[in-house]
Amino acid sequence: MNHAQLTALGRALRLLGEHGEALNPDTPDARLHEVKADLRRALDLLDETVGTGAPTTRCPEHPHGPVDESAPDLCLLCETRRRAARRSEYQSGRPQSAEAAAKAPSRYGVRADRPQPQQRWLPEAWNGREWELCGTPRRDRHEAEAYLAAQRRGSRPAMAYRLVHEFTDYEVLRIWGTPVQVDIEPLGNL
């Protein structure tokens, strides 16, 4: 859809909205015929702008792909990929040797099965009501502090910033500024 088509379609739909607001029980037939003509014009514009058929699946990656009725998104391509992943996960879970087959699997898994803990530093800004993430989490603390220093020197700094250390839990490392609760209603809801 190019810009001219988008503009014409938007104008036609806005005109239909105005017609809808003006309708009442006393609307004359001449006015209804005018609405009918404008509606046909909007449908013709819509037919011109739609380049492809309706999507056959609910998949954003393959909207016109082959259909699999058993898939949640009706996409055969994505469902095939999901089935292959489940199959490889099932096959990789089987014991590979006789020694491994003799040993019963642990209920909680082994250390190598657990993901390694990752530590990150989360830059957060105070928006007047709560702390919100103001940048991407960093793996390096000095890089995160440099990012917050640049934010404080920026053209629109927040009231306060803080750096949160995320490892297996969250720990606030440092706070710059003073967070003050801001009431969003004028005059404090008086």
CA 31-32-37 angle, 5° bins = 95
CA dist 132 and 138 (Å) reads: 15
Helix (H) or strand (E) holding 164: strand 160-166
Determine contact, residues 16/10, Cβ cutoff 8 Å: no
Average of per-residue pLDDT across 28-55: 86
Question: Which pair of tokens denotes residue 154?
Answer: 């920026």
Residues 47-82: tens digit of each pLDDT:
888 777 788 888 888 888 898 888 888 888 888 888
CA dist 136 and 104 (Å) reads: 43
Q: Which residue has the tokens 């003509």?
A: 37
Q: Is the pLDDT of residue 116 over 70?
A: no
Average of per-residue pLDDT across 68-97: 78
Residues 120-147: tens digit of each pLDDT:
888 999 988 889 999 888 888 999 999 9
Show me where the domains of the chain are located: 3-19+30-49, 53-86, 120-177
Helix (H) or strand (E) holding 81: helix 76-92
Residue 63's pLDDT is 86
Residue 101's pLDDT is 47
